[in-house]
Amino acid sequence: MAIKRKETTVIVGGGHAAGALMTALLQKKYQHDVILVGEEPHPPYQRPPLSKNYLAGEVDQASLYLKPRSMYENGGYQLRLGVRAEQIDRDNKIIGLSDQSTLKYDRLVLATGSHVRRLKVPGSDLQCIHYLHDIADTDALRDQLIPGKRLVIVGGGYIGLEVAASAIKKRVGVTVLEAADRLMQRVTGPEMSAFFYAKHNAAGVDVRLNAAVTGFEAGDQGRVAGVTLADGGKVQADIVLVSIGVIPETALAEASGLPCDDGIVVDEFTRTSDPEILAIGDCTRHRNLFFEKMQRLESVANAVDQARIAAATLMGEEKPYNSAPWFWSNQYDLRLQMVGLSQNHDQRVVRGCFEKEEFAVFYLREGQVIAVDAVNMPVAFMVGKQLVQHRKSVSAEALSDPHSELRNL
């Protein structure tokens, strides 16, 4: 009887998706060799705490790791950290690495994640202008968050606002500059934006909307001293954080000729156009049966969901991606939990009370619940997960009626 040759699966990228994939393969007792190539010196870790309790100094670095490195190695998997994959030779199934070595693969999984969008305006190369994407970035920013310093955050999305909440706790003066006319405009509705605006203001954050940044002014020794705005205004700054989103990391895939469209294009089994190459996480534009259109999502839930699908695909199981996306954010004492994508809703229903800081916004389209944002109301999130996943039709009256039991909807 022929003995099946042991194959090598290489994972390029060392983020959450890569870690979740190795975990899923360990749990499924995947018998082939697995080698992870990661640019950062760390084993896969959780990024969400970076802007929250890690920045605030409440948790240590080791607690960010998805697992101790030894757990992967004890399972027979290899981690090659501090090395970057620089090219893929698909014809010969070889990857070229930044340390000049090469790796042969049978199956390849791209989990290359994303990189931060850079703000390109005059002065953007001054000292003390930060971005926040990894542990090193966060350590550098945290070192500068000294009481009395003035931090200006460019961008009022999740990351910017989470950093604002963490920094003000450290008695740093915080200004948030948002170019749009409301906070978190890309990801939530106007009620939520208004609520978070009021919350940050009350906490002492100077939030400015419609504030487009045109440049940075230099102070001593090449350090940033101020931010200039399109309306002619200026804001003084000792430290700047630019948090204006991320761009999927597709360079490696594109150079090897894999189809990309603002993300590496994959099907509902995480397969690229090359049958031996999968891609997962933030770097993908993917098919999810839950949606009609191809999606690109920047989220932990998508990273771990796709990792589990990829593990199934590698095991020869056919398990299509079919789940509603979900997200969370913590700011101050607020627990924001979200499910679904609210774009294209035609009706919003509020349940609960803004003043008590316990409420949820349900987003409907043609009577079906397509998304829910819940603040300090976990039950609405959990019910929402079911309503959204199954595209339930629920009347606005029932959703907003405080006497109706959510769990009976």
Partner 1 sequence: MGEIIFIEHDNTKHVVELEPESTLMQIAVSNAVPGIDGDCGGECACGTCHMIVAEEWFNKTGAITDAEEQMLSMTPERTKTSRLGCQVKAKDAMDGMTVHLPEFQM
Q: Cα–chain-centroid distance for residue 10?
A: 23
- State the Cα–Cα distance between residues 144 and 388, nearest whole angstrom: 42
Residues in 51-80 that interact with partner 1 by CB under 8 A:
66-68, 71, 75
Q: What is the DSSP string of 77-94?
A: -EEEES--EEEEETTTTE
User: Which residues inside 11-30 make contact with partner 1, applying CB under 8 A?
Assistant: 23, 26-27
Let me know if 392 is exposed, middle or buried by CB neighbors in 10 A (0-12, 13-18, 19+): middle
For 16, phi and psi rounded to 5 degrees? Answer: -60, -40
Cβ of residue 352: shortest distance to partner 1, in angstroms?
Answer: 12
Nearer to partner 1, 81 or 334 (CB): 334
Q: Segment 327-356, which members bind partner 1 (CB under 8 A)?
A: 328, 330, 335, 337
**Nearest distance in Å: CB 304, partner 1:** 5
Contact 163, 241 (CB under 8 A): yes
From the list 83, 53, 21, 355, the residue with the least C-alpha distance to 198 is 355
> Closer CB to partner 1, residue 49 or residue 157?
49
**Binders in 373-392 for partner 1, by CB under 8 A:** 376-379, 382-383, 385-386
23 vs 193, which CB is nearer to partner 1? 23
The distance of closest approach from Cβ of residue 259 to partner 1 in the complex, given in angstroms and rounded to an integer, is: 29
Q: Rank residues 67 and 182 by Cβ distance to partner 1 and give the closer one.
A: 67
160 neighbors 176 (Cβ within 8 angstroms): yes
Q: Looking at beta carbons only, is 83 or 409 nearer to partner 1?
A: 409
Nearer to partner 1, 227 or 314 (CB): 314
Contacts of 69 (CB under 8 A, 6+ apart): 43, 79
Burial of 27 (0-12, 13-18, 19+ CB in 10 A): exposed
Type and span of the H or E element at 43: none
Subset of 29-48 contacting partner 1 (CB under 8 A): 46, 48
CB of residue 125 vs partner 1: minimum separation in angstroms? 34
Q: What is the Cα Rg of the chain in Å?
A: 23
Q: How far apart are CA 149 and CA 137, in angstroms?
A: 18
- Smallest gap, in angstroms, from Cβ of residue 31 to partner 1? 15
* Residue span binding partner 1 (CB under 8 A) among the ranges 141-149, 232-240, 326-334, 390-398: 326-334
* Residue 273, C-beta contacts closer than 8 angstroms, at least 6 positions apart: 258, 259, 265
Q: Helices 158-169 and 190-202, interaxial angle, to 10°?
A: 20
* CA angle 45–165–194, rounded 5-degree value: 115
Q: Does 304 bind partner 1 (CB under 8 A)?
A: yes
Nearer to partner 1, 68 or 190 (CB): 68
The smaller minimum CB distance to partner 1, of residues 4 and 29, is found at 29
* By the rule CB under 8 A, 409 interacts with partner 1: no
The correct pick among 44, 49, 325, 352 for binding partner 1 (CB under 8 A) is: 49
In the chain, % helix, strand, coil (3-state, to 5) comes to 25, 30, 45
Q: Which of residues 70-129 bind partner 1 (CB under 8 A)?
A: 71, 75
Quick one: 46 or 127, whose CB is closer to partner 1? Answer: 46
Residue from 158, 195, 216, 326 binding partner 1 (CB under 8 A): 326
What number of chain residues touch partner 1 (CB under 8 A)? Answer: 28
Cβ-based nearer residue to partner 1, 142 or 335: 335
Contact residues for 128 (Cβ-Cβ < 8 A; gap 6+): 144, 223, 224, 237, 238, 239, 240
Report if residue 272 touches partner 1, rule: CB under 8 A: no
From 106-114, 194-202, 216-224, 299-307, span contacting partner 1 (CB under 8 A): 299-307
Binding residues (CB under 8 A) for partner 1: these are 23, 26-27, 46, 48-49, 66-68, 71, 75, 300-301, 304, 326, 328, 330, 335, 337, 376-379, 382-383, 385-386, 407
